[in-house]
């Protein structure tokens, strides 16, 4: 009997330890705030309710548009505000799964603003350009894009192991339409500027603005609307072509948006 009591006591202590661990268990959560084109929004104010014990209830996104906080398993309400954008509020549920605790969570919040609402008038197949954290925007329908001055380049596609000829608009020409600092203006703090290009499936790549500027790089990065003299078909209507890359991982097909960002 004494041995049985000892086993019961040990089991009770172990169960109490499990309960204590569950009560103190928390998950790293990264909250990313962007506009509908994917341009990050810096200095967005975030309120988490109920407030986490180890962090302020009021959080602010960094220059990259994100903020991190640890949250215990529960249902929270996120309230997000930023200058020039409409407030957003949404619930998130944090679970206690082992996989989630190890990897953490990424929560994306999209804010819309008065300047962005005009984009709903753009055709669904338009290429959307945004700069200045989404406040300078432009939509180019395929017909408008085709009317822009084009160049033709021949590149090696490592995926098909073949030479391919693309026709399109130089990326610097498109970036000039959203007032990207190019040429002599690309110096000092402007050197932290970069470009994100996003496909219809959400696939996003990054290029530094210096990679794009012909004053820095000889490679002619283009947004193509034709290959070998024909429309892009399933890869179109637009595709980003980055000559010089050994792998075409940054050749974003079904390109839908290009956004100007600032690292600092």
Q: How many other CB atoms are found less than 10 A from the CB of residue 148? A: 15
- Residue linked to tokens 């947004």: 223
The pLDDT value given to residue 118? 40
- Give strand pairing partners of 75: 93
Domain 122-262 in CATH: superfamily? Oxidoreductase, molybdopterin-binding domain (3.90.420.10)
Q: How confident is the model at residue 98 (pLDDT cuts 50, 70, 90)?
A: very low
Q: Span 2-114: which CATH code?
A: 2.60.40.1120
The pLDDT value given to residue 18? 41
Please tell me which residue, 59 or 16, carries the higher pLDDT value.
59
Question: Among candidates 158, 152, 153, 154, which has minimal Cα distance to 245?
Answer: 158
Domains of the chain: which residue ranges? 2-114, 122-262
Question: Among candidates 166, 176, 255, 250, which has minimal Cα distance to 213?
Answer: 176
The pLDDT value given to residue 10? 41
Same fold, 2-114 and 122-262: no
């Amino acid at each position: 009997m004494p041995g049985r009591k000892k086993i019961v006591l040990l089991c009770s202590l172990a169960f109490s330890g499990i309960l204590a661990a569950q009560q103190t268990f928390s998950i790293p959560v990264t909250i990313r705030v962007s506009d509908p084109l994917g341009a990050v929004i810096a200095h967005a104010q975030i309120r988490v309710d109920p407030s986490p014990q180890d962090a302020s209830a009021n959080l602010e996104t960094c220059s990259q548009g994100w903020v991190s906080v640890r949250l215990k398993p529960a249902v929270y309400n996120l309230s997000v505000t930023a200058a020039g954008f409409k407030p957003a509020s949404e619930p998130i549920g944090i679970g206690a799964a082992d996989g989630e605790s190890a990897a953490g969570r990424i929560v994306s919040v999209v804010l819309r603003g008065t300047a962005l609402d005009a984009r709903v008038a753009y055709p669904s197949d338009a290429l959307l350009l945004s700069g200045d954290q989404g406040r300078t925007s432009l939509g180019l329908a395929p017909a408008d894009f085709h009317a822009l001055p084009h160049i033709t380049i021949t590149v090696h596609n490592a995926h098909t192991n073949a030479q391919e000829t693309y026709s399109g608009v130089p990326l610097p020409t498109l970036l000039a339409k959203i007032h990207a600092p190019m040429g002599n203006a690309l110096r000092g703090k402007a050197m932290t500027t970069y470009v994100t290009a996003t496909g219809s499936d959400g696939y996003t790549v990054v290029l530094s603005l210096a990679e794009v500027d012909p004053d820095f790089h000889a490679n002619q990065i283009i947004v193509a609307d034709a290959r070998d003299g024909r429309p892009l078909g399933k890869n179109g209507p637009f595709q980003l072509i980055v000559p010089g890359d050994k792998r075409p991982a940054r050749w974003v097909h079904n390109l839908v948006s290009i956004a100007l960002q600032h690292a600092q």
